[in-house]
Structure 1
Amino acid sequence: MSGDHPDPCAVNSLVETPGCSPVEGRVVWDPIHSIWNGGMLAGALVLGPLTVSPGAAAVFAITTGAGLLLGHSVGFHRRLIHGSFKCPLWLEHVLVWVGTAVGMSGPFWMIRTHDLRDWAQRQADCHDYLAHRRPMLIDAVWQMHCRLKLMHPPAFDLGRVGRDRFYRLLERTWMLQQVPIAAGLYLMGGWGFVVWGVCARVAASVSGHWFVGHLAHRRGPQSWLVEGAGVQAHDVPWAAIPTMGEAWHNNHHAFPGSARIGLYPGQSDWGYRFIRLLERLGLAWDVRTPETMGDRKVLVPAKP
C-alpha cells in the first residue's frame, strides 16, 4: 500500500499480475500533460522576458525552491510514495498539496508513474521509455508529452492514500490548484509575479525533473549496483541543491525507503534536513535511514 509498506525497499502501490511485463508496449501522446506542460513552457518563454523584474525573479526562486523541497521531495517522494517517515495526517495533507502545486500532476498519477518506473527498472529488462535509454531529445518528448501503454501492465493498489477524499480531490483538480496561487501572486505584484510564480515555476520544475531523471539513468558516479536490475542509477552531483537531495539517485536506488538520500560526506540533502527539523519539533517520527533498514542483499559496491 502506498506510503505505509512494512518493507522499506518495496514498490509500494504496484501489484504484479500474472504475465505482467515492463518490456512490450507503445508510447502514445498524453494530451492533458502535453498541453499543460507545453502551455506553461510557452508562457514562460514568451511572457517571461516581458515581465521580468527583481521581484518576479525572487518569487520564482522562492516558490520553486519551496515547492520542490516541501512538496515534491518531502511530501510526494519521501512521505507519500516511500513512507520513509511518519507525520500527522494534517501535515501530510499540507505537504502533498504543496507537491500537487508544483504542477507536474496529481498525487495518484505521481505515485503510479513513480512506482511503475521503479518496478520496471528492477527487472532484467524494460521498455526504453522506463529506462530513459533513448537520446535526450526523444526522451524529453516522451517523458513530458507522452505516456507508455504496456501490453501486459501490472495493477495498482493505492491503499489508504487512494481512499483519502482530500487526495481524490487533488487528483481531479491538480491543474486548478494554480488558480489561488496565481490570484495571490497577482495581488502581490501583478502579471509579472503570475508569469514567474506560476508559468516559469511549473515549466522549470517539470523540465528539471525530466532532465535530472534522464541523466541519473545514463551517466555519473555510482557507489552501489543492484544485482538483477536491468537499469542502474547514477548520482548527479551538480543538481543536489536544486533537487533538495534527490539527485543522489544511485543512493536512492540502493536504499529506496530511506528518508536520507545524501548519504556520504559532502552530499547535500535539504529534504532530509527538513525532515530532521520536523522530527525535532515532534512532527515526524520513525524516520528511516540505511542504518535502521537492515542489510539489502542485492547490493554490491560499484567499481571505482
Structure 2
Amino acid sequence: MTAQSTEKRPHPPGEEPLPLATMGGDTQGIAERVALTAFIVVPFVALIAAVPAAWGWGLGWRDLVIMVAMYYIACHGITIGFHRCFTHGSFKPNRPLKIAVAIAGSLAVEGPLVRWVADHRRHHRYSDKDGDPHSPWRYGETVPALLKGLFWAHLGWMFDEEQTDQRKYAPDLIKDDDIRRISRQFALWTVVSLAIPPLLGGLLSWSWQGALTAFFWGSLVRVALLHHVTWSINSICHAVGRRPFRSRDKSGNVWWLAVLSCGESWHNLHHADPTSARHGVLRGQLDSSARIIRWFELAGWAHDVRWPSTERLESRRAE
C-alpha cells in the first residue's frame, strides 16, 4: 500500500462553497497538533497510572460508577450517533435524538463530528487500499511493515497534516445547522466532558478529594480507555479476527472488544454490509448499540432502521 493520497474537489464556478464544520478546516495547524498530542498523552499517562493508583489508594464505587456511566454514554454516542446514524444512515432520528447522540458522541473527545464522519466515510471508500486514512496494511504485509502499519492505523494517522475534505465526504452534515453547530463547538463539549466527572464527584462526596479522584478516573482514565478501544477498531480489527462474511478488505471480528466497543468490533459484518444497524448478527454476538437503537425505534424516536434480513446476511456469507 502506498502513501496516503489526498483529494481536493474544487467547488463549481458560481457555486458558493459550503462552510466548514470545524474550526481548523481541512489543514491541521501546529496549535491543533499540540492540542491533539496533549489529549492523547495526558489521558494515556493517567491510564498507565490507573493500575498502581487503584492498588495504592483504591478505586471507590462512586468513581467507578461515574467512570462507567460517562464511558458508555460517550461510547454509544460514537457508535450509535457518529457511526451508525451520521456516517452510514442506519436509521433516521427525530431532531431531539439527533442532537442528543451528536452531543453524546462529542463527549468522547475524538474530534469534531463532521471531521470524524468524513474520515470514516473515506475509510470505507478505500478500505485497506491506497487512500484509506488508517489502514494497518499501509506499508505492506511483512511483519515489520504490519507493526509499523498498526501504529499508523491506531494513532499515527491523526497527526497527518492533510485532513479529509469535509465538503466532499460530509456535505449533508455540513448543511445541517444542528450538526454543523455541534461540530464547531467541539472545544466546548471537550470541556463539558472533562468537567462533568469532577463536578459529580465533588457534589456527591462534598469534598475536593472526591472531585479530584472523579476527574482522574471519570475524565482522564475514561477518555484514554475509550480512545484506545475506538482506535483498536481501526488497527486490530483490520489485522486479525474471524471473517464469516465477504468484504473487499481485511476487516475481522474481535470478540474480546465487543463489550467495551459497544458492538463495533463485529467489524467484518459491518464492512460486508455498512448500512446495517446491527453489527453483531450471529449467535452470542453482543451488540449493545443495536439494542439501544431498537429501544429508540420502539419509542418512536428513530425510524427507517436498516435491520439485516436473513436473506441479506446469507447473500454475504463467505464461501
- Which residue of the partner structure matches residue 165 of structure 1? 177
1:85–1:259 CA contact under 8 A, matched in 2: yes
- Which residue of the partner structure matches residue 131 of structure 1? 135
Distance 2:180 2:174 in 1: 7
1:37–1:145 CA contact under 8 A, matched in 2: no
CA displacement at 1:150 relative to structure 2: 7.2
Choose the corresponding residue for 2:86, options 80, 91, 116: 80
1:41 aligns with 2:44: yes
1:156 aligns with 2:168: yes
1:33–1:144 CA contact under 8 A, matched in 2: no
Choose the corresponding residue for 1:242, options 246, 260, 263: 260
TM-score of the aligned structures, taking structure 2 as reference length:
0.74
1:60 aligns with 2:67: yes
The secondary structure found in structure 2 opposite 1:56 is helix
Aligned positions of 1:193-204 closer than 5 A: 193-204=214-225
1:184 aligns with 2:184: no
CA displacement at 1:31 relative to structure 2: 4.0
- Which residue of the partner structure matches residue 90 of structure 1? 96
Change (3 A) 1:106 1:154: closer
Larger RCO (CA under 8 A, 6+ residues apart)? 1
Larger radius of gyration: 2
2:114–2:166 CA contact under 8 A, matched in 1: no
CA displacement at 1:177 relative to structure 2: 1.4
More strand by share: 1
2:276–2:308 CA contact under 8 A, matched in 1: yes
CA displacement at 1:116 relative to structure 2: 1.4
Distance 2:270 2:97 in 1: 24
Change (3 A) 1:38 1:166: farther
The secondary structure found in structure 2 opposite 1:103 is coil
Identical pairs, percent: 23
Tell me the number of residue pairs that the alignment of Structure 1 and Structure 2 aligns: 272
- Which residue of the partner structure matches residue 281 of structure 2? 263
Choose the corresponding residue for 1:140, options 110, 130, 151: 151
Structure 2 counterpart of 1:252, one-letter code: H
Structure 2 counterpart of 1:215, one-letter code: I
Two-structure CA RMSD over aligned residues (Å)? 3.3
| Structure 1 stretches lacking a partner, 5+ long | 1-14, 19-27
- Which residue of the partner structure matches residue 209 of structure 1? 230
The secondary structure found in structure 1 opposite 2:246 is strand
- Which residue of the partner structure matches residue 302 of structure 1? 318
Structure 2 counterpart of 1:41, one-letter code: F
- Which residue of the partner structure matches residue 306 of structure 2? 288
Distance 1:233 1:90 in 2: 33
Aligned positions of 1:16-31 closer than 5 A: 30-31=33-34
2:108–2:226 CA contact under 8 A, matched in 1: yes
More helix by share: 2
CA displacement at 1:235 relative to structure 2: 0.5
